[in-house]
Amino acid sequence: MDPYVVLTCRTQEKKSSIASGKGTSPEWNETFLFSIAHGTSKLLLKIYDSDGLSGDDFVGETTIPLEPVFHSGSIEPTSYSVVKDGDYCGEVKVGLLFTEESSRGFDGGEENFGGWRQSSRDY
């Protein structure tokens, strides 16, 4: 398996690198930055297996609630269940860090509602 993760937070989407040759125990250790607006409640992770010439295979997904990280400022790496068609198919461990900055000089489009917040995601 050559897995990668697509992370979606509202209208923003990020993609991890492909963990080539890592099988079912990949480690990405990557950081992703999202602009977070009021009302944002979750981060969606979809895991795929890169197949090169043929279409990539969907492995599973998990949804991470963001409210706990807003309250505490960070969450140590925590395991979240990955499911496909309602069936458990593994876990992904994710750490989250939340920082708040002013909106001066930021043009975040749709994500810029009354200021903005940045969250960094380590995988």
Q: What is the pLDDT of residue 24?
A: 81
Domain that holds residue 94: 3-122
CA within 13 Å, CB half, 72: 11
Q: Please state the domain count of the chain.
A: 1
Q: What is the pLDDT of residue 50?
A: 92
Q: What is the pLDDT of residue 12?
A: 95
The stretches in the chain having pLDDT less than 50 are 104-121, 123
CATH number of the domain where residue 118 is located: 2.60.40.150
